[in-house]
Structure 1
């Protein structure tokens, strides 16, 4: 979060929540804390994160209550109980925010919360009136930092002084140009490396706000930018400083990824016009969820890749053993030759018996090896099914991000449970684990029948057995991993059009979705059976009918009948 955005949030807070009573604190993630303040007639929730990738301070809507408690949130909650927030301080372009608390407005400050939002060095401190650290987000040992160590019980010291130049409205164009031209780099790097408060997003904002004839001016070397274009950038620079100093803020967003808090509506056409705090909350909420989703996809891909390699390795070992077991006939023939000779002594008898024994052992092992081969082949096919579910989830954009995240978390859990994989997990919330799980995708057919589509193994199991009734129809791509699709024809007889749409969707949500036509198994629910000792979604069936599904037609139907959400 850039310093201008931080300043805009603090301006809102200073105007609207001073003074307020501290009410509670909770920690939804290891590097994020949520604080609640109660005013005369309203509650205000803040979210502060010292995560190195996305440090931020935001006003948020009331979050879900966390069941389990972290030590930090407990210390803050009990330490600040019944206290009033009476001051919020932040020095111009510094990224250190100080919240002061007293027993009541007008009293001296007796507790502090300090937030340092400085990239990977971000942190949170809970201090007493003598600046002694009571609790800290992350402790820093002497071998981790030569400048300052951070631990509970020590006295808080300020972070290193920012030695970059402070932007001022009084600076002339020539002085500004000379300052950023010391080292010839791209204009973006020159501004970031020379002045306090300049971030990559600010350089993009200056570029968009300026009337230059070069759309990529920030990426150009400063020596190759004309004086006229630099003057246009300088004009925008002065406007930014003025609005920063005078706290003239307004939220604008462009192309779903680029926002500003200092453009005015009349100066630029923006897509959405919403209040600043709501705009920032929505922006960060969406992009943080998108990042989490991408990390979960990579994590699942990594788990599947690693486990598939293990299964293939074990499969090859069994194939080698199987090939060696073919020698049982050779050992038997050798033993037969020994006993077929006219003259045979005790030593030959012992050798012949050993050969027979080895032959029998190898023959018996073939059955066990074959069993293991079937297990490893089934495991590889199963991982292929998980991979298909993951691909299907990424290919369509019809669920909210939070729903996609939930589906991915369930897929990880399913893989880990099925293959007994132990992965490092963050502190889990006891209350959240009991919440309702994700629901299968559901659409209506042209005649109004319901169609259910499983998006993970648990959902496949549910729609095929728990939610289904006698008279429903089950669809799945033939000899291809994919989702189970159930047509709820128990309520009324399905038309040919209903059956065809169900087949098209079964084709779409299968590994064979890139084919023009896909053979689909159509089975009556009463003919479907769960495979004993099989994982969720493993079924067997009798009396199957084969029909052809068209994935393209299925995709068109989904797009028309499900709203795309972001």
Structure 2
């Protein structure tokens, strides 16, 4: 925040709090609050600085108790810098007065709060500072932050250019920031001299009673004390109601805090998703190819068939037997266990072949499941990057959180999947983000999408093979599932729309999970069939 903006804020603070009594203070990690009756001013002491006004009392009145019941004589800034000074006065019962200064240094990451007496002796500091520039310690004299800049009229300029003004002027002139200089440079580009541009800028600043908040990529970016011509390409909000400058800064502070929460939560979710993706990839890398397993099983079965007709050739002590495959005329060497009978060796070979076939089926099913989860997580990761809603991000966080059951940690399946009696798969959304991913990312054009008509509920997707038509039983079952996972679950029969997924569309700018569709058919059904299925298969969640 630049010094000129803070100057406007201090003027509003003076209007709001002059002659009011301080009734309490509070300190947190990066903020300092002052209470005056039912109002509380909070200064955010980190980069970026912030200010928040709220109708709220401080509960614990023990902090800085000896500096309570001081009256605010005035609020101002000093040295054209980012420093707000509350001039305080203490009036004793006898009428004797004593003055103090509450100094709020809003200088980015070096922000601080100091209380001094009338002789500038430091009585309190939010954080002690010891440096070659100045010391901020209790008992020492308070010195303002160093400011070697000068007043505009004190400096003689040679030849100037708009580029030089924008990049260097703020280094020499008190109160100016790079953004201020960008505006002055804009005036110079449009024909004014540097002196004329500076005076125009200062006049605009002094005469304005409205703060402007500019946005970049939909995020709050700049706060100005008047409408900047150099920012004409940025979207902005005017704060016309008093206190304009405090309100705009508070809005900026709250929005920035939200953006920080969003960025932090996004980073956390991306890490969670990437960790799950890594686990899936590790599992996939350790799995055997089902086709290779089936090929091994085929070779073993061939060996077993050959051995079945040549058991008499297994002699005591023999561990290998070479036989000719009469179909291919190739020789096949079969390993046998000399400690077992020929029949036991034959049984072992067929058991191994069967085991490999079963493993191939399992590996194929597990691979498909993992690949499905991987596809879902990749889509979820993409969705996380696009979201700017804390609520939706928190829904994803809940979705990703592991749950404990009987002291064993189990991962939730992604997405929620049900196998129908016919063997077909249903994908069911558990929140609006999952609904969208199921409908738009995991669907094939020929899959059938179900949703309760005009009633909030889960998106349900019936997975089909390409060119396959769903049976009437599967349609009714999926529709019953859509009824079960809707707000109309307990309303008896309700209308369920269904349509091929290729007819789904998400309008730009709509919330997560919102889709429109066409060419739908409607079935009237209740949730009883699906609920019965869940009970029979011990899938009903309590």
Q: Which residue of 2 aligns with 1:108?
A: 98
Distance 1:303 1:280 in 2: 34
Deviation of 1:363 (Å): 7.0
Give the alignment partner of residue 342 of structure 1, picking from 293, 303, 315: 315
Q: State whether structure 2 residue 53 is matched by structure 1 residue 60.
A: yes
**Counterpart secondary structure, 1:21:** coil
Match of 2:225 in 1: 261
> Which among 101, 104, 108 is matched to residue 119 of structure 1?
108
Aligned partner of residue 198 in structure 1, secondary structure: coil
Larger radius of gyration: 2
For residue 237 of structure 1, what is the aligned residue in structure 2? 198
The Cα offsets for residues 432-489 of structure 1, whole Å up to 9 and x where unpaired, read as xxxxxxxxxxxxxxxxxxxxx95456999xxxxxxx9999685626369xxx995769
Displacement after TM superposition at 1:2 (Å): 1.2
In the superposition, the TM-score normalised over structure 2's length comes to: 0.58
Distance in structure 2 (CA, Å) of the matches to 1:149 and 1:522: 78
Select which of 195, 198, 213 maps to 2:173.
195
Shift of 1:13: 1.8
**Are 1:96 and 2:83 an aligned pair?**
yes
8 A contact 1:47–1:59 mirrored in 2: yes
Per chain length, whose mean CA-contact separation is higher, i.e. which structure has more relative contact order (CA < 8 Å, sep 6+)?
Answer: 1
Equivalence for 2:474: none
Q: Aligned pair count? A: 434
Structure 2 counterpart of 1:317, from 272, 285, 299 = 285
- State the partner residue of 1:131: 122
Q: 2:461 aligns with which of 469, 473, 478?
A: 478
SS at match of 2:14: helix
Q: Which residue of 2 aligns with 1:550?
A: none
Q: Deviations 1:73-98 (Å, cap 9, x if unpaired)? A: 88746564444444545313222334
Query: Following the alignment from structure 2 to structure 1, what is the Cα–Cα distance between the partners of residues 70 and 201?
Result: 37
Pick closer, same or farther for the CA change 1:234–1:153 going to 2, 3 Å. closer
Provide structure 1 residue ranges, at least 5 long, that are not aligned to the other structure: 215-228, 395-403, 422-452, 461-467, 541-566
CA gap 1:153/1:26 in 2 versus in 1, 3 angstroms: closer
Query: In the TM superposition, what is the alpha-carbon distance from 1:131 to its structure 2 partner?
Result: 1.8
Query: Shift of residue 124 of structure 1?
Result: 3.9
> Normalising to structure 1: TM-score of the pair?
0.56
SS at match of 1:108: strand
The alpha carbon displacement at 1:185 in A equals 4.7
* RMSD of equivalent CA atoms: 5.9
Structure with the largest fraction of strand: 2
Residue number in structure 1 paired with 2:424? none
Pick the aligned partner of 1:380 from 359, 363, 374: 374
1:8, distance to aligned residue in structure 2 (A): 0.9
Deviation of the 1:3 alpha carbon: 0.8
Higher share of residues assigned helix: 1
Q: CA deviation at 1:5?
A: 1.1
CA separation of 1:248/1:255 partners in 2, compared to 1, >3 Å: closer, same or farther? closer
How far apart in 2 are the matches of 1:530 and 1:159?
A: 76
- Is 1:25–1:74's contact at 8 Å kept on the other side of the alignment? yes
Question: Given that residues 114 and 123 in structure 2 are in contact (C-alpha distance below 8 angstroms), is that contact kept between their aligned partners in structure 1?
Answer: no
C-alpha separation between the residues in 1 aligned to 2:135 and 2:523? 67
1:288 to 245, 253, 256: 256
Structure 2, unaligned stretches of length 5 or more?
321-335, 411-429, 438-450, 464-481
For residues 11 and 53 of structure 2, the distance between their equivalents in structure 1, rounded to whole angstroms, comes to: 15
Quick one: structure 1 residues 407 and 252, their matched pair in 2 at CA, closer, same or farther if it must change by over 3 Å? same
| Alpha-carbon distance, 1:100 to partner | 5.3
Distance 1:504 1:26 in 2: 58
Which whole-Å CA distance do the structure 1 matches of 2:135 and 2:462 have between them? Answer: 61
1:406 aligns with: 391
Mapping 1:14-163, distance limit 5 Å? 14-25=14-25, 30-38=29-37, 43-52=38-47, 54-56=48-50, 58=51, 60-62=53-55, 76=63, 78=65, 80-86=67-73, 88=75, 90-99=77-86, 103-104=90-91, 107-109=97-99, 113-125=102-114, 130-131=121-122, 133=124, 135-136=126-127, 147=133, 158=143, 161-163=146-148
